[in-house]
Chain A
């Protein structure tokens, strides 16, 4: 049993959870207002877009690739959908708006997929390229204006709440339906990863591409799926971002990709592929969101945000790696 406990304790998930706990304790000591329903619902809302992006990113890492273009996919899908809706049918109902954005995202993801799965190019190079191309295309040909007059249904969606109200203590809270989108993404991804052969093939690809090929796994189809799926998730995250922020800003989101990858890596996914859990990824997102939003609460100036995130990555991923190395050295 001790071995099992040791394994649980040295997992990234446990480490991240402990850091989050520590952070919360320090924060509630230094500011009694931190641990309230308001803060919690604020943090939860801030995690939605990051969470959906992170889950997509995790899938790519498991498959043995890396994607840095998903923020450009997200912002492009969101902005194109908004423009299209305003031009063609401003009263477009929100389910259709969402479907459109997801579709655009999947389409852009498919472009990554073509380069990676069909032409077999390195994933980092392809997505670095498309990150630039997608964003450049968006700003040059689609538009560079911030649109605050969104289609009414898009705004409407952000006002739809699962629950809202005021606690007895007078704290205001609101849980938007966008949270349900995150829940659906989590469930769907968990199902794909653990209950379908496609999902197991994604793990197999990340474990050993050559073995997967020899075994007869359709490597191309699996990779193509991964990038289309990530694109679709990015499209969803993008439209949620626009809707919740009540603005279609073509300059937003891009730049977030490293924070997202950081969250995923903190959660235990390995850059070499084959490893990653949804729990870990969500914990990683929670930690990044905490640091981004509440660092000030525990008395660290917000300019220290990136330093803190960087330090966490070094510690959170470096420590287990160092332990593994030491264990390997001991084993000879």
Chain B
């Protein structure tokens, strides 16, 4: 089941995958024995890396594997401690971002690094004009540059539009155009598909194919590899600063990629049906909210992990929020441990020891600029009060303990949460709720935007929470995730629960059909 789950989750289409076209000698970028030490830590350890013109490479690796460091060195943001970098056959020493840009190596960051207050034309032409060393700015010249590049990839975006008014997919195109305006020969794309819908991803891949035909090489740095594997020739996997695998993209599938990235088989079996603890934890009766969900009744026992799934708009998120009082249902009852919980009152829900970890942990759950400690401690201030003062020691000890138990990799608990990777941020959000010793934990999309290894860890945590006697509700549209963690799965459609399956009794394909039918 395990590997198959992942393979099925990341559909591969070898037919559309192009073959290697370029010979070894014509490499555009050649990095040999590149090593990088940061204050005692070796982030990159003797990595060889080559890029040929017109080639697309998937650079895979978990957070902290060294892929960001490699990209930073290649783009001149960081200097390698050891090793040689050749771009276009020329040895680059003391490579700066400007040198890299001049040599045709451009990075498109996840946030695109554009200027929201400037026009599309100016955003596209800016870098080009900087590298040309212009002093005088000409609107006409900027428009001409932008027009030329947009035509090159066959896209039409109004040149005068302010960037902030554009949808995300267009912003990304502007970022690509900006790189092309600088005569890019290698475009490095950091998480290019994260913010895009399926249709937009397809459009992006078409443009990537076009660029490759024009001889532009592309490196994808991504967690969602399946989407870009289709247009890639080669895959390079880093782990702990070392290159652990490299090969033709056809040699890899999602399961083998995961294995290389994590260094272990991420074998996730269904926990099977729930044995039953005999203790009813939660009973939901006839919960109803117009336009969101209707007639929702179910119950669960302590130690049970319950999955709720459904397509977007099926009411699953509203229901999750209603269970925690963030959405007020019109009628119905929620009973936890035999006591009724007032509807639409998150504080009462928290007092009933219900915990809710939101879907978009970045905007809904965490104070990103605040320290990890404060983020964990925020729900625990009342418990650590001593005569009106805050008992800091106890607070720090408790927070540290939870961070350790949840395996958060952190330099210091005083570091801001935004300095952590997505997976670790999710764990901090979890740690906050765990420290309140909840009876019922509602996890909405627990592994959205998390890399493969962390995802498996989060699943371990979820199963573990169940073993500890908590009730866990997992709300997700990630079917392999539900199959790997839940004792029981409820399917929602049009606001109502339409199906119920015990763990291990349904395959992913069957479940996905139930969802769509």
Contacts and interface: CB of A to CB of B under 8 A. Distances in A.
Contacts of B77: 214
A215 B117 contact: no
A274 B136 CA distance: 19
A197 B109 contact: no
B126 A215 contact: yes
A211 B97 CA distance: 12
Contacts of A196: 135-137
A200 B122 CA distance: 9
A194 B137 contact: yes
B140 to A, nearest CB: 12
Interface in A196-238: 196-200, 203-204, 206-208, 210-212, 214-217
B118 interface: yes
Nearest to A272: B117
Contacts of B138: 195
B136 A215 contact: no
B379 interface: no
Identify the interface centre among A196, A203, A211: most chain B CB within 10 Å of its CB: A211
A70 interface: no
Nearest to B109: A214
A275 interface: yes
Interface-central residue, B114, B118, B126, by most chain A CB under 10 Å: B126
Interface residues of B, number: 23
25 contacts: A195-B137, A196-B135, A197-B130, A197-B134, A197-B135, A197-B137, A199-B137, A200-B122, A203-B117, A207-B115, A207-B116, A207-B117, A208-B113, A208-B114, A208-B116, A210-B113, A211-B114, A214-B107, A215-B126, A215-B127, A216-B101, A216-B130, A216-B131, A274-B115, A274-B116
B355 to A, nearest CB: 27
A198 B115 CA distance: 15
Nearest to A273: B117
B129 interface: yes
Contacts of B131: 216
A99 to B, nearest CB: 24
A240 B20 CA distance: 71
Contact of A197 (B107, B115, B116, B136): B136
Interface of A: 194-200, 203-204, 206-208, 210-212, 214-217, 274-275
Interface string B200-223: 000000000000000000000000
Q: Which of B97, B115, B131 has the most CB of A within 10 A?
A: B115
A217 B130 contact: yes
A195 B115 CA distance: 18
Contacts of A217: 130
Given A197-B134, A215-B126, A216-B131, A204 B109 contact: no
B75 to A, nearest CB: 9
B136 A216 contact: no
A204 B137 contact: no
Contact of B118 (A197, A198, A204, A210): A204
Contacts of A203: 115, 117-118
A18 B290 CA distance: 46
B86 interface: no
Nearest to A206: B117
Interface in B185-205: none
Given A195-B136, A197-B135, A216 B115 contact: no
B137 A200 contact: yes
B98 interface: yes
A195 to B, nearest CB: 6
A215 B117 CA distance: 16
A39 B122 CA distance: 43
Max chain A C-beta neighbours (<10 A), residue from B116, B117, B122: B117
Interface in B125-169: 126-127, 129-131, 134-138
Nearest to A218: B130
Contact of B113 (A200, A214, A274): A214
B126 A200 contact: yes
A189 to B, nearest CB: 14
Contacts of B136: 195-197
B98 A211 contact: no
A155 to B, nearest CB: 40
A274 B116 CA distance: 8
Contacts of B137: 194-197, 199-200
Interface string B78-118: 00000000000000000001100100000101000111111
Task: Enumerate the 3 nearest inter-chain pairs by beta-carbon distance, A residue then B residue, closest first.
Answer: A274-B117, A207-B115, A211-B113
B98 A275 contact: no
A217 B134 CA distance: 12
B162 to A, nearest CB: 10
A204 B113 contact: no
A212 B136 CA distance: 18
A275 B358 CA distance: 35
Given A197-B134, A197-B135, A208-B113, A216 B118 contact: no
Contacts of A195: 136-138
A194 B126 CA distance: 13
A204 B135 CA distance: 15
